[in-house]
Amino acid sequence: MPFYTYVVSYRGATYVDQVRSSNIKGHGPGFVGAMLAKPEAHFSPKMINETVGKAYYTEWTPVPNRINLWRASFDLEGSEFLIHVIQTQP
């Protein structure tokens, strides 16, 4: 099963975590929600639910001229929420 590194950028903060998953589309949104639920992220339950919903319906696109790198972005409370996912090997 592939190993993924998630890098989230939002309002000047960066959050990074890793997970083993079969794909980014089906498991990515829930994993991002779990990452943001950690106390150090300071996200409210409402914001986490909104983020997971938007991440699920946002298109995950390959980054041009890169291998095993995808991105998704959407507006969250007036700021860009940007997710990069890199398929890595542990």
Q: What is the mean pLDDT of the chain?
A: 88
Q: How confident is the model at residue 89 (pLDDT cuts 50, 70, 90)?
A: confident
* Prediction pTM value: 0.85
> Which residues lie closer than 8 Å to 70 by C-beta, 6 or more apart?
24, 60, 61, 62, 63, 84, 85
Determine contact, residues 42/58, Cβ cutoff 8 Å: no
Residue-wise pLDDT for 38-68, tens only, equals 888 888 999 889 988 998 888 889 999 999 9
Region 63-82: mean pLDDT is: 94
Please give the Cα distance from 42 to 51 (Å, whole number). Answer: 13
